[in-house]
Every structure is written in C-alpha cells, then in structure tokens.
Amino acid sequence: MAFILPTAMSHPRYTITTAEICADIHRANRDRPRPDQTDEVAADADVQRADPGRPRPARPELIDRIAASVGVEHRFFSAPLAEIAEAGTISERQRAAFGHLRDRGIEAAQQVMAQHGISPSDIDILVTSHATGDAKPGLDIALVNALGLPRKVRRVQMTELACGGGAQSLIRAADLIAAGRGRTALVVVAETLSTIYHHSDTGADALAFKFLFGDSGGAAIVTSTAPSGPSLQILDTLELVIPDTEHYYRQRHEPDGIHFDSTRAAIRAVDTVMPDLWDWLRTGSGNPTWAADHVVAHPGGPAVLERIQKGLDVSDERLRHSWASLADGGNRGGPAVLDILRRLMDDPPAHGSEGLLLAFAPGFAAAALRTKYLAGSAR
C-alpha cells in the first residue's frame, strides 16, 4: 500500500505570455519570403520534415489561430524569451537545459521534504524523470549530493518518458515500496521544454508546442505509512503501450538542439487507450459501473483534455485542475501531473472518493493510477 502526499512545484523566474510568444513568432517570420500557392502546404509538419534543410515561413493566420486555441495564458521559461529563441548549438542548449532542470528539481525536492518534515535519512528510494537536458551523471546524482541523501538510496532514472514521466515515476515508486525495497520514496520530475523552441520549426505541430510548452520542476513523497494529513492512496496502476505507434511522437536531434515532432494520429491515440483503460478500471475495482470522482489528467493540450473528458464521460468540474494547470503554466511535460496533484490537494474532493491519474508518453504509451482521496485525521 502506498500513499502520495501533497506535492511541491518549482517554477523559473520568467513568465512568458501567449501574446509575447505570438509576437515573437510573427517577428521571426517577417524576414522569410511568403510562400506561393504551391508552397502553402509547407506549413504542414509532415511536409517540412521531408525537407528540413531550410526554415519555411509559417502562415500568419495559422500562428494566430493556434495562439487562440491552446488555452495557455502564460508559461514559465528558464531564460528570457529573446535568449530562448536565439539559435545555438545542441551542446549549448543541452548544457543549459540540464542546469535549469537540476535547479528546479532540487528546489522542488527541498520544498516537499520541508513541507512534510522528511529528512534526507528518511528517503529510501529516489525516482527521477527528465527527457530534456541529457546529462551523465543525471538528475538523480545531483539530488543525492545536493540533498545529502543516503549513499545506499535506491535510484531509478526515467529519462525517455517526456509527458508520461510524472505518472510513470509515481508508479515505479509505488512498485518499489510494494516490493519491500523501502518505506519512503522521493519522486522528482523536471523539464526545460523551452529548449525545443526553435524558429526553424514552422509546421503546425511545432507552432503548437511553442505555445504549449513551459519549464518547471515538481516533487512528491510516496510512502507506505498512512499519513495523518491528506493524501492519495494508490489502489492500482496501469502501464499500456499501443503497438506500432513509435512515429506518433518523436525526438529529433539537429545541430541547433533537440526538436520534438508529432503527427495528428497522436491526438487520436487517446481514444484507442480508452477501451483498455475502462476494462482495467472496472475489473480492478470490481465495480462494473465505476466512475471517477476526480481526474488528474496530463494537459497535453486542449484536444487531449477534450478527448480524455469524452472518453471518461466526466464533467468539466472533474477536470478543472487540469484545465487550470494548462492555463497557468502550459504543458510542463512530466511535472504537469505533480502540479495538478498540488491543485487537487488544495481543493480536495470528498473523503474516500476514488479517482484517476492519467498521462500519455511517446510510444504511444499510457500510465494510469486509480486512487482514493483520504482527508486524514488532520482534516
């Protein structure tokens, strides 16, 4: 049995509005020749990837339409927008990205440990996740040294999960606790998604990512001891991979840094997960009419949340924390579910109510936790 305690978040100092992103993209496109009718399809990401040699102009109306549709008011960047948008080398960007996410991860971990009176010697398990800022040694080693964690702490590094990193890391922490490998796990997830902001990417998916992505770090304590305060009890977990979908989301390395590509099939893939998800929820709970009282859904974007809402047949109210997180910080990658958990604990559901935590990852993969909210004796 494992319990998730209220989480902590660390955000960088720069708050960038959607209007600022929109103006920056328009500014970058002014010096590019307007496409003729034949080239109009160049705004499509699949066509651009077929000829990635030179940047192509994005259609002004497409920029404005995407800006208006993403549902993000602002996001947090680790550096000023002008610096983020400036071209650099892959080594420069990766080095900076790791430095930023390391700082966010350390700060979030310090906050969550202080919040719950957890000392470094209490931590038996450390689970970390970051898909940006590839570095060796990685975030786990940085945390051990910065926090003074035990030399024999069990470490799990989850470095290829992207948006699924938060949910998957919570599952792995719960697995290790269930296996008797420790009683207290520290989960730390951090990303510098601003590192994939490139003006050389002008396809529709790349434009959407510019408006969606933000930087942050989050941390959670997962424990085998029933807490006196509020928590989410983990009742069951699910890990799912849809076969032959590797191309839905892909990371691409170029001399100027890492890029992230997707196809329209990635949005539709949410629907393909639902039959397996419902079968697991109803079978695992032993309740053929099981319904989620609260949902922590990773805000991959408005279309993803809308499909989750429809697939789970839940009201806007059940997803209000996911929508609020999207507006107030954008898609933060793996740390996003930790931010939504923080919001859920601050505005809790009824004691004993069951819910669902759900996130998607490149693969196409899904990670889910069926949970029960416990108010605790302190409430």
8-223 and 229-374 share one CATH topology? Answer: yes
Cα–Cα nearest to 219, from 320, 147, 299, 150: 147
Residues comprising the chain, all counted: 379
On average, the pLDDT of the chain sits at 91
Please give the average per-residue pLDDT across 75-79, as a whole number: 97
Whether residue 22 has pLDDT greater than 50: yes
DSSP secondary structure code for residue 213 in this structure: B
The pTM for the full model equals 0.92
Q: Is 34 exposed, middle or buried (0-12, 13-18, 19+ CB in 10 A)?
A: exposed
- SS3 for 142? helix
- The angle at the Cα of 195, spanning 104 to 76, to the nearest 5 degrees, equals 50
Q: Give dist(CA 236, CA 68) in Å, integer.
A: 38
Q: Give dist(CA 45, CA 264) in Å, integer.
A: 10
Cα–Cα nearest to 75, from 301, 240, 226: 301
How far apart, in Å, do the first and last CA atoms of the chain sit?
21
Could you report the per-residue pLDDT of 184-193, keeping only the tens digit for each?
A: 999 999 999 9
Residue 339 structure tokens: 């931010």
Q: Give dist(CA 49, CA 203) in Å, integer.
A: 9
| CB of 65 closer than 8 Å to CB of 50 | no
| CB of 113 closer than 8 Å to CB of 119 | yes
Whether residue 152 has pLDDT greater than 70: yes
Residue 376 structure tokens: 């605790």
Going from N- to C-terminal start, the domains of the chain cover 8-223, 229-374
Q: Give dist(CA 367, CA 280) in Å, integer.
A: 12
Confidence band (pLDDT; 50, 70, 90) for 33?
Answer: low
Looking at the domain that runs over 229-374, which CATH code has it been given? 3.40.47.10
pLDDT at 64: 94
Q: Which amino acid is at 376?
A: G
Residue 244 structure tokens: 């032959």
Residue 328 structure tokens: 């107030």
| CB of 170 closer than 8 Å to CB of 187 | yes
Whether residue 11 has pLDDT greater than 70: yes
β-sheet bridge partners, residue 186:
126, 221
Looking at the domain that runs over 8-223, which CATH code has it been given? 3.40.47.10
293: left (phi over 0), alpha (psi -120 to 50) or beta: alpha
- The angle at the Cα of 52, spanning 243 to 205, to the nearest 5 degrees, equals 55
More confident residue, 42 or 205: 205
pLDDT at 31: 63
Please give the average per-residue pLDDT across 195-217, as a whole number: 93
| CB of 135 closer than 8 Å to CB of 326 | no
| CB of 184 closer than 8 Å to CB of 118 | yes
Give the phi and the psi of residue 323 in degrees, each rounded to 5.
-65, -40
β-sheet bridge partners, residue 185:
125, 222
Q: Are strands 154-158 and 125-129 parallel, antiparallel or unpaired?
A: parallel
Could you report the per-residue pLDDT of 259-317, keeping only the tens digit for each?
A: 988 888 888 999 999 999 999 999 999 999 999 999 999 999 999 999 999 999 999 89
